[in-house]
Amino acid sequence: MASTPTRIVPVIDLLHGQVVRGVKGDRKAYRPIVSALCGSSDPLTVARVLLEHCASRQLYVADLDALMGGSVQIGVLQTLLEGLPDLEELWLDGGFADAPGAQAVVDALGSCIAPVFGSESLASRGALERCFDRNGAFGERALLSLDRRDGQRLDVAGSWDAPELWPPRVIVMTLERVGAGTGPDLQTLREMRSRSPATTLIGAGGLRSAADLEAAGGAGASAWLVASALHDLQLARLPR
């Protein structure tokens, strides 16, 4: 079992300035969130409710506009940061292909941004190496997301097979389980744990219940990215 409880990091998926419900990574089909927890799709309103419910000071944001080839939603993200003064880190997946692209966003938004480099977006092996250079601009703040869908790795840069290049924090993202209520992919998490025991692993996709969260901890997850289970009231409010 994990020595400490697996944390919940709440997630908001941003599309055209609204929070949408992510289902199986089919981004073009996402619709504004309908939530039993929060009667709004306004990003700041949703973020406040989720952070309070999870007693979290970290928030994961997937900028779907950027992930589908558009621009990062700088104005929306600025509103989030201004309205969440207690936030310690905003983990941002903005479809970053390389370090300079992420650096431009960090420069615009400030040091609270922890860029997430998804294996589906990284342009090359060289980009992978430069993003996670410990002496580079991001130090140890940046995260790598190992992305896969339907058993297929989304990975032009070869990130999955280069644990020697991984940063201290790595997300294991199973896109077909996102919002699907099918349970977490613990087998892949265990495989990544065996490949890099010292890496802090964060799971993503499929989590349904407190029992799933406990099982994730036993498989080696220090945290799990969660949205749907929160909006559907499947996870109880956590005390601060």
151 within a domain of the structure (yes/no): yes
Q: For residue 2, what pLDDT is reported? A: 40
pLDDT digits (tens, 9 = 90+) for 96-110: 999 999 999 999 999
159 within a domain of the structure (yes/no): yes
Largest CA distance in the chain: 44
239 within a domain of the structure (yes/no): no
> Taking 50 as the threshold, does the pLDDT of residue 26 lie above it?
yes
> Which carries the bigger pLDDT value, residue 162 or residue 3?
162
Tokens at 213, concatenated: 């969260």
Give the other-Cβ count within 10 Å of 137's Cβ. Answer: 16
CATH number of residue 84's parent domain: 3.20.20.70
58 within a domain of the structure (yes/no): yes
Q: How many domains does the chain have?
A: 1
Q: For residue 29, what pLDDT is reported? A: 64
Q: Residue 106 belongs to what domain range?
A: 7-231
Of 17-31, 61-75, 106-120, 140-154, minimum mean pLDDT range = 17-31
1 within a domain of the structure (yes/no): no
104 within a domain of the structure (yes/no): yes
236 within a domain of the structure (yes/no): no
Closest CA to 170 of 141, 197, 201, 135: 201
pLDDT digits (tens, 9 = 90+) for 196-222: 999 999 999 889 899 999 999 999 999
CA-to-CA separations, 88 to 58, 81, 113, 150, 204, in angstroms, rounded: 6, 10, 9, 33, 20
237 within a domain of the structure (yes/no): no
